[in-house]
Amino acid sequence: MGLLDGKKGIVFGIANDRSIAWGIAEKLFAEGAEMGFTHLPDKDPNRPKNENKVRKLVDPRGAKFVVPCDVTKDEDLDAVFKTVADEFGKIDFVVHSVAYAPPEDLTGPVHDVSRAGFALSMDISVYSLIAMAGRARELLNPGGSMLCLTYFGGERVIPGYNLMGICKAALESTVTYLASEMGKGGVRVNTISAGPIRTISSSGVGEFQSMLKLYESFAPLRNNVTPQDVGNTALYLLSDLGSAVSGENIHVDSGYHIMGAPPLDLQDKIQF
């Protein structure tokens, strides 16, 4: 018996096999979940690169559907949740692993962020969760769960994370308000704050290599996390094991977030 036998849901945000969303999906598949997936729309329908990347991963595991979705388009979200209703009727979880900022706005200082870049970043990284929640609300069973991904840069200043840190702060606040509203229907809403992981999204973050080295040295567990580590916690939050957890932000970062100064053994190696 798997923890998610008989549970159904949808996962937004798999780009390839290094995606955090794929690390989560692997764990959910292993515990018996039935799932549908979205992919970024392909510019050329005759060369469906994005769709093929997702299908290569999920079709062998028995994905119920794979559909395109641009989260900035209401018509795309409407179509996705119609497919969810047609295929599943009711569902038990939604995984939101979606974030974006234009490279020119992400890599520069916050005071230089463009109005258009800020609006687009918030639309994709934050409003998309609200848009999904509004559509999923009537489809989620009591005891259901919504889960999204954040990072410590939404709580503290992380040099190089810049605009995305502002988006993650907004996302974390949004989760608490959604948790309050959706709790009346027995639905939980939570976030996982994952340590830095090599993904397509992280490649655009300034000083990312330094982040990885810092975590290896600074975090109590002295290592970086993997998508599979995040998947383990996602499984807990999406299963009945997390039945009384809502509005929570669980850090999966080897303990990095608790540190206020370098560990003593590292201080010996730093020249002040």
Which neighbouring-strand residues pair with 117? none
Residue pointed to by tokens 């109005």:
115
Catalytic residue among 151, 177, 236, 256: 151
- Measured on CA atoms in the order 89, 91, 95, 96, is the torsion positive or negative? positive
Q: Which residues contact 220 (CB under 8 A, 6 or more apart)?
A: 254, 255, 256, 258, 259, 263
Q: How distant, in Å, are the alpha carbons of 69, 182, 224 from that of 74?
A: 10, 21, 37
Six token digits for residue 38? 């979205």
Spatial separation of the C-alpha atoms in residues 30 and 192, rounded to whole Å = 20
Whole-angstrom Cα Rg for the chain: 18
Phi–psi pair at 67, nearest 5 degrees: -130, 155
Whether 161 is catalytic is yes
Whether the CB-CB separation of 190 and 252 falls below 8 Å is answered with no
Please spell the DSSP secondary structure of 72-139, one letter per residue.
T-HHHHHHHHHHHHHHHSSEEEEEE------HHHHSS-GGG--HHHHHHHHIIIIIHHHHHHHHHTTT
Phi-psi region of 14 (alpha: psi -120 to 50; beta: other; left: phi over 0): beta
Q: Which residue among 161, 177, 215, 236 is the active-site one?
A: 161
For the question of residue 215 being annotated catalytic, the response is no
**Which residues form the catalytic set?**
151, 161
